[in-house]
Amino acid sequence: MAQPSPAAFRRALVAVFLLALALRAVHVTHVGRAPFARLLVGDARSYDAWAARIAAGEWVGTGTFYQAPLYPYVLAAIYETAGRDPMAVRWIQAVAGALACVLLACAGASWFGAREGIVAGAILALYPPAIFFDGLIQKAALDGVLVCGLLALLGVYAARGRIAVLLAAGAVAGALALTRENALVFAAIIAAWLPWQLRAAPVRARLAALSAFLAGLALVLLPVSVRNLAVGGELTLTTSQSGPNFYMGNHEGATGHYLPLRPGREMPEHERVDATQLAERATGRALTPGEVSAYWWGRSLDWIRRRPGDWAALLARKALLTWNRIELPDTESFTVYADASPLLRGLGPLLGFGVLAPLGVTGVFMSLRSRPRPVLLVAMLAGFSAAVALFYVFARYRFPMVPLLILFASYALVAAWDAARAGRARSLFPAAAVAVAAAIVVNWPLESTAAERGRSYVNLGIALASENRLDEAVAAYRRAIEAEPKDALAYANLGAALAAQGHAPDAGDALVTALRLDPSLAGAHRALGMMLAQRGDFAGAERHFRENVTRDPDSALDRTDLANSILEQGRIDEAIATYRDVLAADPRYLDARLNLAHALLRAGRRDEALAEVREAVRLDPESADARRALAELQ
């Protein structure tokens, strides 16, 4: 079948944009009616706070970047123009997502043909996880636009050989690395492909092409590196979190999922602190961000050297998770949003990753038998999937693979259509066999969808509880338990929320159930300890706080609660010693210092108590508790 005319292709691009925008508008409208419409969960809360600081004037910031910085800066620009409103961000990202569909259509036209491009753009417009990510306060929305833009630019270069395009491609690749650090693998692959692509050209031409791409890359990354050196004291290309991230996905007990360095501290604001504190405690000295990262790399590599077989098995599992149909959630889940969005519910079973990936793999198989072979696209797909599997797996981490898979899926669909129309259906048998095999592997039930749904509602409940929306949080936890009755974390958080509402008997039952399912659950021990302390059972409370301290000696919160329960039992000297242990590790922990002052006062050591309160006021002059304590003692 003939390719459409340029005018027809342009009209098709407009249709793709309008389709994508309409679908995203329907989705955002439904999300706007959900209880979590303006709720910031997990990384979204961190990005929002960071963007607010940038918009307030902190454009340079302090310290080496720990998280990829581009998305918060984009958010800050949105806040400056549209206000600090999550719904405004969702609408702007809906437009950007529709633009990504047009860019992918252009990429498909350059790499394979106009028909393939139109199909690719339409698939991305309809792809439910793309619609979902475009509606999140998450950097995956920016990933989609940048990957599609990079593919479009590379397609123009591959088709027309314009070196100037490579400067722009390098800049986009650099921007992508500032949203998704492991996207640097794209830059490495492109830099290796260019000399191969020009292998028949003079050396000067190869060097010119490579130099143009690297110049574009440096144009974006060099200022960030210089900024890190100027304010952080180290020349770091993008961020300093690669070591902790690699360790979380590669150590004894790793599962392929995100596992925090300290159990129960999954929030982004804890990650850098925990990584630094644990590394410094192990080495016995203060460490720079680069040294912290190197410490965690060393821990992982040491385990890999000692247990290569275990690591190989873990890596294989992570590779399968990367290519599995399930959309592994981070803090916000496709399944929770689908409950609020009929569009996601309807499209999810029809065009999820379990459908797209087999089509994409089939397209890879078919395209490698064509001329010219899309070697770069295959290498980018394989390289990025390996980069995801090397660390740990979330659906949004693998999302940059999706535009590549869509390009190959569009090639397979158009080629199959042409073969069927030409009466060559039998020639499709090998491709059909590849599709079936890929579908079996991708759709193999590696993970429990019920457990994934349950954990998603737990995350939602935690976010609701943090805003004191306890009735909604309790409802979310109950939905989590309905989905997965053996989820200890759901029971623990339900118990804590019920306790905060004053429903002590039900709270106690939930917390006891949580500890029966998982005796190591710190949150359940903490909540149950607090309930017992409120009842006056300080010995019972001590047992639960001591359990947590035994498992995590660095937890200032649990050690302080332990000291409180000891103090209430009249063991004043032991309580004072415990408070001092907390402050030796964290001198700025105000609760421990004020409670220490109270204990000293009970021991008749008023001057020492006054000194501790004055230190608390010096450390935090804005603390109302510290100022009140000082007024009472003076």
E runs forming strands in 31-126: none
330 or 91, which is more confident? 91
Question: 172-198: per-residue pLDDT in tens?
Answer: 999 999 999 899 999 999 999 999 999
Tell me what percent of the residues of the chain surpass a pLDDT of 90. Answer: 69
For the residues 397-402, what does the mean pLDDT come to? Answer: 96
**CA dihedral (57, 59, 65, 67) positive or negative:** positive
pLDDT at 535 over 70: yes
Of 217, 221, 95, 202, nearest to 153 by C-alpha is 217
For the residues 483-492, what does the mean pLDDT come to? Answer: 92
> What distance in Å separates the CA atoms of residue 400 and residue 407, rounded to the nearest whole number?
12
pTM (2 d.p.): 0.88
Structure confidence at residue 377 (pLDDT): 97
> What distance in Å separates the CA atoms of residue 351 and residue 312, rounded to the nearest whole number?
32
Question: 584-606: per-residue pLDDT in tens?
Answer: 988 888 899 999 999 999 999 99
- SS3 per residue for 194-243: HHHHCCCCCHHHHHHHHHHHHHHHHHHHHHHHHHHHHHHCCCCCCCCCHH
Residue 225: exposure state from Cβ atoms within 10 A (0-12, 13-18, ≥19): middle
Q: Which residues contact 70 (CB under 8 A, 6 or more apart)?
A: 139, 142, 175, 178, 179
Q: Mean pLDDT check: name the lowest of 23-32, 454-463, 564-573.
A: 454-463
Give 243's pLDDT tier (boundaries 50, 70, 90): very high
pLDDT at 456 over 90: no
Average pLDDT, the chain: 92
Structure confidence at residue 162 (pLDDT): 86
590 or 438, which is more confident? 438
Question: 322-373: per-residue pLDDT in tens?
Answer: 999 999 888 788 988 999 999 999 999 999 999 999 999 999 999 988 878 8
Contact 406, 16 (CB under 8 A): no
pLDDT at 634 over 80: no
- SS3 per residue for 373-411: CCHHHHHHHHHHHHHHHHCCCCHHHHCCHHHHHHHHHHH
Q: How many residues does the chain have?
A: 634
Structure confidence at residue 2 (pLDDT): 66
> What distance in Å separates the CA atoms of residue 268 and residue 184, rounded to the nearest whole number?
22
- SS3 per residue for 102-128: HHHHHHHHHHCCHHHHHHHHHHHHHCH
> What distance in Å separates the CA atoms of residue 307 and residue 313, rounded to the nearest whole number?
10
**CA dihedral (548, 554, 556, 559) positive or negative:** positive
Question: 287-312: per-residue pLDDT in tens?
Answer: 998 999 999 999 999 999 999 999 99
Structure confidence at residue 543 (pLDDT): 94
pLDDT at 437 over 80: yes
Structure confidence at residue 264 (pLDDT): 65
E runs forming strands in 262-389: none
Structural domain spans, the chain: 6-238+325-442, 242-322
pLDDT at 530 over 80: yes
Helices (H), 443-537: 449-466, 470-483, 488-501, 504-517, 522-535
> What distance in Å separates the CA atoms of residue 118 and residue 120, rounded to the nearest whole number?
5
Give 1's pLDDT tier (boundaries 50, 70, 90): low
> What distance in Å separates the CA atoms of residue 15 and residue 185, rounded to the nearest whole number?
33
> What distance in Å separates the CA atoms of residue 257 and residue 12, rounded to the nearest whole number?
40
CA angle 184, 273, 612 (to 5 degrees): 160
Question: 3-43: per-residue pLDDT in tens?
Answer: 788 899 999 999 999 999 999 999 999 999 988 888 888 78
Tell me what percent of the residues of the chain surpass a pLDDT of 70. Answer: 99
Question: 212-226: per-residue pLDDT in tens?
Answer: 999 999 999 999 999
Contact 177, 184 (CB under 8 A): yes
